[in-house]
Structure 1
């Protein structure tokens, strides 16, 4: 292992949080290595034609220079031309950001991270190793998909999480059952209908959500508070935190985008609110999956899609296996200090994994520059 590459900071993951922090660290003169696929989840687990819920003021640059709006100006585009923001456009922005910030990414994956010589050794898929004084990991939500318990009764070939369904042509002329009732459930239904699905049933336990424009401006105060006061989220009272959680829920889950209903062809898309699946069977060979709803209705489907979100479970992140027994956790989340540092000195976790200790807005791109600012400030102090 003497021929391992050495660096100050290893960034594991090249999504919004990893790129944002790596770019700032590089600007501050730190020696860095970034491993992963740039915006990998956004390419591999988000479908073409998807529209984002974010505004043009959401970006990656902690310095506030190479923002999404700066990218639009360079391309001669106005806000009105790009809202709602197409997935492909924001991916292009992230690539532009990486290029202008000169962030080089090693197109490999980290297999394992272990402690070594007061720092860390990371084993890569290509067989190499990187020795780093500190590690910043931003595990994507793809590790944390959740499905209901009865999903085990559906053959693997007939079931997928929404994050695993990004191409729809193979389902043309087929019957699809979507379990879940938030943005991804309804948007995937729209995309399936537009790609020729014969029938799409959406089943969820709550009433049909509202479809109307919402403002995410309250995130501004959250981000500013996080930057202004160390440990801002954890210093709040439970009542104050619950109020923000409620705002996030109402904006992100209780209300869906107003452009969706026009795309939900009623001849194809059928909605079953206030219902849940009590029994599932079939799906072997050419058989369809047959489910029974709580109201005794029966549905058949060639494919079941679980738009059932994500739940934290650090044990699902394979490259952390060698450190897992040293990382303190609570309810699947790592316990972090005010600088995103875990109970393993020098190991930092950010993004969705940090949302328990920093607030639910850490699950959104909006908070990436603030996270980068706090992380890099502490890394500078730690590493000198």
Structure 2
């Protein structure tokens, strides 16, 4: 039997994939979506973590606009505030799974193993053994494939080295000495949770760790005009990135790339400061030069910005060094299809409707950030993306 060709197939079931599927279904588009709901957040984030985004900026998107995180919290007796009360990872995952059951009940919890061109559009080979055909495909697989491990740590034994995205439970490091590399949210969260769990923790970074400022309560009109609030934080740059992504897309490519690289850089949430400062050993200004096993432990060699060197021997090192979007890391993409996609800095060049140079192939989320701005690196960008792309595909 020949499989039915659908209008749109979505690869990935995180905030972007689920939101887009809900909007397409609301428009009557024949859509299939593949993946396990909220998989990245459930399988690659440490339990006990708090989201850096405010409550109002942590909702998925559906056509009515009613099923927000605030609504879910009210229905389930969970604490909630638009701003000032951090959202827990457990709340966000439970909300996302409830969103899937209510708004995208047709999700198929199977993985796409191969995506290639087909005379009728695209063919998707599924882990279930089936083949799906679609006229258009939206890649919404999130950032899990893009975990970045510094070169000195590559190839070392996994019992000594890991990436922060490999841990959901950090309690196994209790009583051990652990180095965390990085200065962003993942680094701050990981170090705080390790320390709380009984590990002796070092947080080592090339630059000083700069925590977000805590909310200071209601702000005057003048303060809001000088630094307007947005789903990406206060300030005019963040405001424009959050609410004018199409204007961002129209900017010269060199300017876009520079803005994505520089704006909204690494910074832990304000709520992590008290768990880190004075408790975790902070070593700013150090760059990892090399690493080698020493018995059952790992010796790390660092160089400071002022030139001096420093060695540290630990039981384990966790690289909280973020994610670097790279189309080549999507193993399921057929090489011929991947090579046909025009790229810049290893990410697809997209038109104003998220379409790549391969007609019918679309990319959203982190892979779209160089085209639409930093907004696409955050769950808050799912609302704009779902509404805009659903209108186009519908």
Give the structure-1-normalised TM-score: 0.89
Q: Which residue of 2 aligns with 1:302?
A: 315
| CA distance 1:324–1:244, shift in 2 (3 Å) | closer
Q: Which residue of 2 aligns with 1:61?
A: 61
Work out whether 1:232 is the aligned partner of 2:233.
no
Confirm or deny: 8 A CA contact 1:190 1:265 kept in the other structure: no
| CA distance 1:276–1:222, shift in 2 (3 Å) | closer
The Cα shift of 1:52 comes to: 0.3
Separation in 1 of the partners of 2:197 and 2:375? 33
Separation in 2 of the partners of 1:242 and 1:110? 30
Separation in 2 of the partners of 1:141 and 1:353? 8
The Cα shift of 1:11 comes to: 0.7
Confirm or deny: 8 A CA contact 1:5 1:129 kept in the other structure: no
Which stretch of the first structure deviates more once superposed, 88-97 or 217-226?
217-226
The Cα shift of 1:238 comes to: 7.5
Q: Which residue of 2 aligns with 1:176?
A: 178
| CA distance 1:156–1:72, shift in 2 (3 Å) | closer
Confirm or deny: 8 A CA contact 2:241 2:374 kept in the other structure: no
Q: Which residue of 268, 271, 280 corresponds with 2:291?
A: 280
Separation in 2 of the partners of 1:347 and 1:243? 26
Confirm or deny: 8 A CA contact 2:170 2:193 kept in the other structure: yes
Residues 55-92 of structure 1: per-residue CA shift (max 9 Å, x gap): 12122115322222222333345534982100111111
Give the structure-2-normalised TM-score: 0.87
Separation in 2 of the partners of 1:301 and 1:308? 18
- Superposition pairs of residues 165-204 of structure 1, within 5 angstroms: 165-197=167-199, 199-204=200-205
Separation in 2 of the partners of 1:73 and 1:220? 28
Confirm or deny: 8 A CA contact 2:5 2:120 kept in the other structure: no
The Cα shift of 1:139 comes to: 2.1
Residues 34-67 of structure 1: per-residue CA shift (max 9 Å, x gap): 1101000001101110100111212211532222
The Cα shift of 1:256 comes to: 2.8
Residues 276-330 of structure 1: per-residue CA shift (max 9 Å, x gap): 12232215xx521011221322211111111111112101101213411211111
Which stretch of the first structure deviates more once superposed, 270-279 or 79-88?
79-88
The Cα shift of 1:26 comes to: 0.4
Q: Which residue of 2 aligns with 1:338?
A: 352
Unaligned runs of 5+ in 1: none
| CA distance 1:265–1:209, shift in 2 (3 Å) | closer
Q: Which residue of 2 aligns with 1:374?
A: 388
Confirm or deny: 8 A CA contact 1:154 1:289 kept in the other structure: no
Separation in 2 of the partners of 1:340 and 1:47? 31
Separation in 1 of the partners of 2:257 and 2:6? 41
| CA distance 1:266–1:324, shift in 2 (3 Å) | same
Q: Which residue of 2 aligns with 1:96?
A: 98
The Cα shift of 1:356 comes to: 0.3
| CA distance 1:245–1:9, shift in 2 (3 Å) | closer
Q: Which residue of 2 aligns with 1:75?
A: 76
CA RMSD of aligned residues (A): 2.4
Which stretch of the first structure deviates more once superposed, 58-67 or 165-174?
58-67
Q: Which residue of 1 aligns with 2:207?
A: 206
Separation in 2 of the partners of 1:314 and 1:41? 18
Confirm or deny: 8 A CA contact 1:47 1:167 kept in the other structure: yes
Separation in 1 of the partners of 2:338 and 2:254? 32
Q: Which residue of 1 aligns with 2:367?
A: 353
How many pairs does the alignment contain? 368
Separation in 1 of the partners of 2:156 and 2:314? 11
The Cα shift of 1:223 comes to: 3.9
Q: Which residue of 313, 326, 331 corresponds with 1:318?
A: 331
Work out whether 1:261 is the aligned partner of 2:262.
no
Q: Which residue of 2 aligns with 1:15?
A: 14
The Cα shift of 1:203 comes to: 1.2
| CA distance 1:260–1:102, shift in 2 (3 Å) | closer
The Cα shift of 1:104 comes to: 2.0
Confirm or deny: 8 A CA contact 2:350 2:357 kept in the other structure: yes
Q: SS of 1:131's equivalent?
A: strand
Separation in 2 of the partners of 1:127 and 1:242? 40
Q: Which residue of 2 aligns with 1:158?
A: 160
| CA distance 1:107–1:246, shift in 2 (3 Å) | closer
